Amino acid sequence: MKNSIKLISNRALFYLAILPVSCGIFAWQGWAWWSWVSGPLVTNTSSTQSPEENAVTIKIPVGTYGQQIGEDLEAAGIIRSATAWNFWVKWLGMQNSDLEFKAGTYKLSPTEPLSAIADKILDGDVVKLSYTIREGWSIQQMAEYLEAQGFFPAADFIAATKNIPYDKFPWLPSNIPHLEGYLFPDTYKIEAEQNTAEAIINQMLGQFEKIALPVYQKNQNNAENFNLHEWVTLASIVEKESVVAEERGVISGVFNNRLKKGMRLAADPTVEYGLGIRQTKEKPLTYRQVETPSPYNTYLNIGLPPTAIASPGLASLEATLNPDDTEYLYFMARYDGTHIFSRTAAEHEAAIAEVERMLSSQ
């Protein structure tokens, strides 16, 4: 009897001793498994290589459940285990009952751990497309640029600029044929899911409303007495003529002086816009082109053209409302970006001759 009790005691001691060891082994194995399945699928061996270099684009539709996201991520080679994903999602759900994954297009890298990937989708860190609209670009130039960047066909953008969104932007002048001049030049970002011509146009109009419109409203009783459309139209001409920033105010002053005197603006960029061409030093405007009738030809027509010819930047918009106080009525381009300014027609003719001599000597 004593031997039996002793045997049972020895066995109990054995199991008591082995139990913590077994639990430790199982815990270590479980942790090792979790570290493996939740860790990066691909090890980034280069310290200079960013996660974006291995990123995979994946789209998560609206209403996709967490389990389906895990299966999609595993199938795309972004995570090692959909099972591990489900464990992690359930754990996060215990911490936050309002847990919600955001639909959209994501760039996710297999060099990132599972937790970081989950955080991106929870935070809605979706892919954003970047585009830059330059000062002085016309709608046509914007359309060509956006098409070249892979956004959408140029024709789609041009067509969309003819649909004036008065419901969203009631300050837009009535009866304008298109949005030339009102698409504010800047650098923008837009979510890939929202990549449409209408959305991009709304972004640019929103920026005009935010940055340019207050400038006009602050100076609504400007000395030049321009309405909004006249302001934008003249500013677009100032923008196209002002290559050197220091001359912007003077050029604005010249145009304002000519308008007050009832003189034609005689601005080359308006002729180019009307004909759909771009002159260069090698191919300047010809006399025939300058004499071609067009609503935009300010060599033939007195006053402003019917619309802007490009998108003016803030500097040109401000210079149009606050031109330099000058007696100049003419300027001649030197083709290096600068101009020769003149007070009289005789001075202007001399400036033309000077530029022609410079060109012929090159």
152-163 mean pLDDT: 97
Indicate whether 251 and 317 sit together in one domain.
Answer: yes
Indicate whether 250 and 348 sit together in one domain.
Answer: yes
**Residue where a domain terminates, one of 126, 156, 185:** 126
37 lies in a domain? no
Whose tokens are 């992690």? That residue is 88
The range of the structural domain enclosing residue 154 comes to 129-218
14 lies in a domain? no
CATH of the domain at 67: 3.30.1490.480
Indicate whether 100 and 198 sit together in one domain.
Answer: no
The answer to whether 248 touches 242, Cβ cutoff 8 Å, is: yes
- In the chain the beta strands, taken as DSSP E runs, fall at 56-60, 104-108, 128-132, 187-191, 330-333, 339-342
Indicate whether 118 and 150 sit together in one domain.
Answer: no
Domains contained in the chain, number: 3
| Percent of the chain with pLDDT strictly greater than 70 | 86
Specify the pLDDT at position 2.
Answer: 52
The answer to whether 314 touches 211, Cβ cutoff 8 Å, is: yes
Looking at residue 191, its amino acid is E
267-283 mean pLDDT: 92
Indicate whether 206 and 288 sit together in one domain.
Answer: no
Specify the pLDDT at position 48.
Answer: 52
Specify the pLDDT at position 6.
Answer: 53
Whether residue 52 has pLDDT greater than 80:
no
C-alpha–C-alpha distance, residues 274 and 305, integer Å: 9
**Residue where a domain terminates, one of 126, 148, 166:** 126
Indicate whether 160 and 213 sit together in one domain.
Answer: yes
Read off the pLDDT of residues 335-357 as tens digits, 9 standing for 90 and up. 888 999 999 999 999 998 988 88
> How high is the mean pLDDT of the chain?
87
Indicate whether 64 and 104 sit together in one domain.
Answer: yes
341 lies in a domain? yes
Read off the pLDDT of residues 189-213 as tens digits, 9 standing for 90 and up. 999 888 999 999 999 999 999 999 9
Q: Helix count (H) and strand count (E) of the chain?
A: 14, 6
Specify the pLDDT at position 99.
Answer: 81
181 lies in a domain? yes
Indicate whether 263 and 158 sit together in one domain.
Answer: no
Whether residue 24 has pLDDT greater than 70:
no
209 lies in a domain? yes
Per-residue confidence band for 54, with pLDDT thresholds at 50, 70 and 90: confident
Indicate whether 116 and 134 sit together in one domain.
Answer: no
Indicate whether 207 and 291 sit together in one domain.
Answer: no
Radius of gyration of the chain (CA): 34
C-alpha–C-alpha distance, residues 270 and 255, integer Å: 13
Indicate whether 154 and 121 sit together in one domain.
Answer: no
**Residue where a domain terminates, one of 82, 98, 126:** 126
197 lies in a domain? yes
Can you give the pTM of this predicted structure?
0.79
**Which of 69-73, 179-183, 186-190 is predicted with the least confidence, judged by mean pLDDT?**
69-73
Indicate whether 249 and 300 sit together in one domain.
Answer: yes
Q: What are phi and psi of 187, to 5 degrees?
A: -100, 130
Whether residue 255 has pLDDT greater than 70:
yes
170 lies in a domain? yes
